[in-house]
């Protein structure tokens, strides 16, 4: 069943991430694909994540298809103007890529080519509209194309953004622009997430809650201090602390599994998005603990 069909059939969807490497050695990445194949419903392929130059997300999405993993092509507006974006979308379409996640993209100053010229000719809301147009057989200038695309397009949202209101305004605009599904920034507070879902449920869109496994107290503190839109509550930090250094990761995985289980049992979200960040090999185990495998 395709990712789109799974979401539309109200099954609980699970997505994870494949991070293209810098360089042409793809052994480890192929190993990750092998690990996730048959377990998750689709894999996000990141687009020069954190503005660090790597293999392009279209090539790796195609590799996913060849290796039996359905890709969600991440596309940011940082590196291409509207001509480049649309042209790449058409290319992705003929390669059989169905899902696209429209994002603005981290600024070049975060990455490893700080002197690069950031493009941002258009942004996420406008990219969603462009995808909608391509699906309808027209490009951004209104030209009729020979053959339309058939993308299932999504976007991202930060449910714990501070302040939240401007973020919700953007969420609403993304829905209006044609986003069919959303993947969220990592969440750690289910109560707060429920609040966000109350808002999201006003719209006919699917929401996959984002998860990043906590590996240590240090990591939790780092996230709280440095990563926008992430807030790890004190109770969780205390829980990991109490488990001791040896069992910290294990406890972090338990917490993620527990949260996923709750989201599913209480039908809070339509699925989850597990961002492993270097721990791809742990994803199947987290799924197992959450009762998803």
Partner 1 sequence: MIITKKKDFGELMENLRGYKSFFLLGCSECATLCGTGGEPELAEMKKALEAEGKEVTGTFVAKTGCQVLGTKVELKPHKDAISKADCIVVLSCGAGTQSAVELYDDKPVFPANDSLFLGNMTRLQMFDERCSLCGKCILDKTGGICPITACPKGLLNGPCGGCKDGQCEISPDIKCAWVRIYERMKKLDRLKELCETTIEAKDWAPSQKPRTIVAREEKKK
> Could you say whether residue 199 binds partner 1 (CB under 8 A)?
no
Report d(CA 45, CA 49) in Å as an integer.
Answer: 9
How far from 44 is each of 101, 118, 155, 237, 283, CA to CA, in Å? Answer: 8, 23, 12, 28, 14
66, burial (CB in 10 Å: exposed 0-12, middle 13-18, buried 19+): exposed
Closest CA to 212 of 266, 252, 164, 262: 252
> Could you say whether residue 125 binds partner 1 (CB under 8 A)?
yes
Report d(CA 190, CA 200) in Å as an integer.
Answer: 15
Do the beta carbons of residue 106 and residue 120 sit within 8 Å?
Answer: no
> Could you say whether residue 48 binds partner 1 (CB under 8 A)?
no
11 φ, ψ (degrees, to nearest 5): -75, 155
> Could you say whether residue 204 binds partner 1 (CB under 8 A)?
no
> Could you say whether residue 114 binds partner 1 (CB under 8 A)?
no
Smallest distance from the beta carbon of 142 to partner 1, in angstroms? 12
- Measured from the CB atom, the residue of 208 and 253 that comes closer to partner 1 is 208
> Could you say whether residue 143 binds partner 1 (CB under 8 A)?
no
> What is the contact mask toward partner 1 in residues 221 to 240, using x (rule: CB under 8 A)?
------xxx-----------
Pairing of strands 42-45, 71-76: parallel
Window contacting partner 1 (CB under 8 A); options: 32-40, 93-101, 119-127, 241-249: 119-127
> Could you say whether residue 267 binds partner 1 (CB under 8 A)?
no
Strand intervals (E) in 107-256: 152-157, 181-186, 206-212
| Binder among 23, 115, 142, 166 for partner 1 (CB under 8 A) | 166
Do the beta carbons of residue 15 and residue 40 sit within 8 Å?
Answer: yes
- Measured from the CB atom, the residue of 62 and 78 that comes closer to partner 1 is 78
> Could you say whether residue 121 binds partner 1 (CB under 8 A)?
yes
| Binder among 24, 162, 202, 234 for partner 1 (CB under 8 A) | 162
Q: For residue 26, give both structure tokens.
A: 């793809």
- Measured from the CB atom, the residue of 219 and 286 that comes closer to partner 1 is 219
Where along the sequence are the contacts to partner 1 (CB under 8 A)? 78, 82, 104, 106-107, 109-110, 118, 120-126, 129-130, 140, 156-158, 161-163, 165-167, 169-170, 172-173, 176-177, 185, 227-229
């Amino acid at each position: 069943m395709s990712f789109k069909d799974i979401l539309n059939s109200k099954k609980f969807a699970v997505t994870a991430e494949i991070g293209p490497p810098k360089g042409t050695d793809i052994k480890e990445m192929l190993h990750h694909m092998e690990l996730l194949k048959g377990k998750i419903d689709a894999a996000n392929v990141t687009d020069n994540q954190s503005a660090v130059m790597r293999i392009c997300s279209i090539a790796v999405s195609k590799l996913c298809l060849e290796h039996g993993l359905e890709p969600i092509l991440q596309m940011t507006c940082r590196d291409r103007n509207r001509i480049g974006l649309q042209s790449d979308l058409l290319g992705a379409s003929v390669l059989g890529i169905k899902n696209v996640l429209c994002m603005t993209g981290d600024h070049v100053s975060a990455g490893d080519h700080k002197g690069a010229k950031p493009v941002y000719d258009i942004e996420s809301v406008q990219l969603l509209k462009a995808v909608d147009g391509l699906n309808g057989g027209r490009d951004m200038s209104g030209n009729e194309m020979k053959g339309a695309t058939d993308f299932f397009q999504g976007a991202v949202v930060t449910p714990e953004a501070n302040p939240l209101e401007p973020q919700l305004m953007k969420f609403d605009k993304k829905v209006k622009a044609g986003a069919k599904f959303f993947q969220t920034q990592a969440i750690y507070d289910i109560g707060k997430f429920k609040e966000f879902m109350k808002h999201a449920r006003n719209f006919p869109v699917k929401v996959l809650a984002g998860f990043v496994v906590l590996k240590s107290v240090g990591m939790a503190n780092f996230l709280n201090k440095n990563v926008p839109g992430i807030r790890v509550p004190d109770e969780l930090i205390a829980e990991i602390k109490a488990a001791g250094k040896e069992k910290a990761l294990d406890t972090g995985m338990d917490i993620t599994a527990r949260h996923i289980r709750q989201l599913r049992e209480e039908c809070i979200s339509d699925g989850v998005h597990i961002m492993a960040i270097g721990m791809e090999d742990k994803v199947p185990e987290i799924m197992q603990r959450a009762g998803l495998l």
